A and B are shown apart, each in its own frame.
Chain A
Amino acid sequence: MIKQLIKQTLAQLRSQRMLTAVSIIGSALSIFLIMVVVMLHQVQVAPFAPVSNRPRMLHADWASMQVIDAPQYCSNGPISEKTAKSQFGKLTIPEAVTICNSETRPANLQVPGSKSVGSDLRGTDEQYWTVFDFTFIDGKPYNKADVDSKLHVAVIDRSTARLLFGTEKAAGREFLMNYVPYTVAGVVRDVSVLADGAFSHVWVPYTSFDQGEWLSNLMGSLCVTILAKSPDDFDAIRAEYERNVAEYNKEISSTGWEFITRNRPYDQEKNASVIAANLEPDEKADRRTRWIIYAILLIVPAINLSGMTESRMRRRVEELGVRRAFGCTRAQLLAQLFSENLLITILSGLIGWLASIGFAFLFSNFLFSQSYNTGTQPFIELNMLVQPSTFGLAILFCFILNFLSSSFPAWKASRANIVNAINKH
């Protein structure tokens, strides 16, 4: 039956070439538009190296404080080392907790006697290399002893290694960062700016340069990423964090300030919805908005496509009548027409999906642009875009588009009077 269905669909494709081509282009365009919107969101939440652990990550990119006696006065931003260690360093439930700069900062790199290279710099601790799964091409990451002793060691990405040393085998080599000598501990594969907290060109122990603390040394320039053993632990980790904050607030009460949590730390999806440090993101509203956009992007072309589907059915009315005469039930006819259309929609969906991937590669600069200090443009890799979830969504959208565009014409065709259909009335 499936063989017959495919054969019949191919025969239809051949016999109504113009209509089929327009239908395929229309459906492909629709899936293309939706998949571009999906990808814009997916790159923020889907796992890919070195953020393969995103489903198990919790983020505290910012913290919020308020004046104890005047809660209307707030301060929001990254935190100091002391705050990070007090609130997060004591967590017992997670697999790992890393403290690092919440944003990269510009740095000038130079091999003495050579031209300087502008790059992005991020200070981190040693746990950073556990939470994120970087691929080391040469050398290895710095360790706890290096961080504790404020050692001037660095991990650099492959492009930076080539720019500075002309080779990616740069472990052990020295360079100047903002005129301070550093030694390369390791070289990693380049990281896209889309990998948010993992992105940089150079990573050094955050202890090796001034972090610029403020507000009684409670705030600073650091953030925290937590790697849970399982997403099921998220609530327990948040509860433990709340207890740590309460305890810490007692310690710092003399400052007149206290921390408020705003339900932090956030999982990947919620963190992707953050628009300001002083607002708790509403990821459910964001999800609703996305699905409304998907619905609009599906319904509008579906209405147009249903007209074309009906036109295709009208040309086949005699055939449908003959099928009914020879024992095809209304339900079978409906299923056949629906399946035929689904095959065409899946073919269109595949074209649309591949086109969206091609588009994302070609126009990644403006599609995924991020505001980073050195103006680094995002690069895209196939594993960022080709995710089981995006593929699943593409198939789902094909089903919905097919349902919306073919249900009514197929239902109408299946209800047609057999004699009228055979006589093309």
Chain B
Amino acid sequence: MAIIELKEVNKVFRTDEVETQALENVNISIAKGEFVSIMGPSGCGKSTLLNIIGLLDTPTSGTVTINGTMAANMKDSAMAAFRNAKLGFVFQSFHLINSLNVLDNVELPLLYRHGLSGSERTARAKEVLERVGLSHRMYHRPSQLSGGQCQRVAIARALAGNPEIILADEPTGNLDSRMGAEVMQLLGELNSQDGRTIVMVTHNDDQAALTDRIIRLYDGRQVM
């Protein structure tokens, strides 16, 4: 059964002067537990597609169904709760909050989850930091960490809420090959050991080859 299903998705960016078709008639079905990579040249709509899957953006037309729930017509609060419970994000530039320490960064998704006490949040954050091998860095600031460590913190943050789906937008794009390999190994473990569904945007053919399936885009269109 598909955990992510996009049907006839179109996305048009409009300004006063220009209209850009970022995605055109995209149909995607991703099964639960699949590790999928999205590839294509720059500007082909990979990140736009990932943002739509992650409910960070809305399609101009078409339907998005995640875990059996249609995204259309969801109110802001319902969509936020859905993202919080079902989706975890890993960004190319990590997007950690520099004014907070590692532990607080990882706790972030749990702040918006009802019914969790402060100690439960901290325990969960420590647990995932342990998993990504950074428990010894929990009171450091992101600025005190290497790029690879920052990305592992970002993965820990994505894992903190125990989401079924992890969406990674070029997670190794800012890392050297050794650190990139470490991150890929970690994502692979999350998929193979936990059964989490992972959708990853990448430019790297070698890394894409490690995933179950590759979705290719060209000028906003899905190509085989």
Contacts and interface: CB of A to CB of B under 8 A. Distances in A.
Interface of A: 1, 3-4, 7-8, 11-12, 14-15, 318-319, 321-332, 417-419, 422
Contacts of A321: 95
B89 A332 contact: no
28 contacts: A4-B111, A7-B100, A8-B99, A11-B100, A12-B99, A14-B99, A318-B95, A321-B95, A322-B95, A323-B108, A324-B80, A325-B56, A325-B89, A326-B83, A326-B84, A326-B109, A326-B161, A327-B83, A327-B109, A327-B112, A329-B76, A329-B80, A329-B81, A332-B112, A417-B57, A418-B56, A418-B57, A419-B51
B76 A330 contact: yes
Given A319-B97, A329-B77, 19 more contacts: A3-B118, A8-B99, A8-B100, A11-B99, A15-B98, A322-B91, A322-B97, A325-B83, A326-B84, A326-B89, A327-B112, A328-B111, A328-B112, A329-B112, A331-B76, A332-B112, A418-B51, A418-B56, A419-B56
Give the one of A15, A328, A329 with max B CB within 10 A: A329
Contacts of B83: 325-327
B104 interface: yes
B104 A328 contact: no
B113 interface: yes
A4 B99 CA distance: 12
Nearest to A321: B95
Contacts of B85: 327
B57 A328 contact: no
A329 B79 CA distance: 8
Nearest to A325: B89
Contacts of A328: 80, 111-112
Interface of B: 51, 54, 56-57, 76-77, 80-81, 83-85, 89, 91, 95, 97-100, 104, 107-109, 111-113, 118, 157, 161
B184 to A, nearest CB: 22
A419 B112 contact: no
Contacts of A3: 118
B207 to A, nearest CB: 22
A321 B91 CA distance: 12
Contact of B157 (A14, A324, A326, A329): A326
Nearest to A9: B99
What are the 6 closest A-B residue pairs judged by CB atoms, nearest first?
Answer: A327-B84, A11-B99, A327-B112, A326-B109, A329-B80, A15-B99
Nearest to B52: A419
Contact of B108 (A12, A15, A326, A418): A326
Contacts of A323: 108, 112
A15 B56 CA distance: 27
Contacts of A14: 99
Given A3-B118, A12-B99, A15-B98, A327 B104 contact: no
A14 B84 CA distance: 28
Contacts of B161: 326-327
A419 B80 contact: no
A325 B54 CA distance: 8
A417 B109 CA distance: 19
Nearest to B56: A418
B91 A422 contact: yes
B83 to A, nearest CB: 5
A411 to B, nearest CB: 13
A22 B95 CA distance: 27
A373 B138 CA distance: 71
Contacts of B57: 417-419
A322 B169 CA distance: 13
A1 B76 contact: no
Contacts of A15: 98-99
Nearest to A2: B118
B84 to A, nearest CB: 2
Contacts of A318: 95
A418 B83 CA distance: 12
B90 to A, nearest CB: 11
A327 B95 contact: no
A14 to B, nearest CB: 7
Contacts of A319: 97, 99
Contacts of B100: 7-8, 11
A416 to B, nearest CB: 12
A58 B71 CA distance: 68
B106 to A, nearest CB: 11
Nearest to B169: A422
Contact of A327 (B51, B98, B113): B113
Contacts of B95: 318, 321-322, 422
B111 A1 contact: yes
Contacts of A7: 100, 104
A323 B161 CA distance: 13
Contacts of A1: 111
A3 to B, nearest CB: 6
Give the one of B54, B57, B89, B112 with max A CB within 10 A: B112
Contacts of A11: 99-100
A332 B111 CA distance: 10
Contacts of B108: 322-323, 326
Contacts of A324: 56, 80
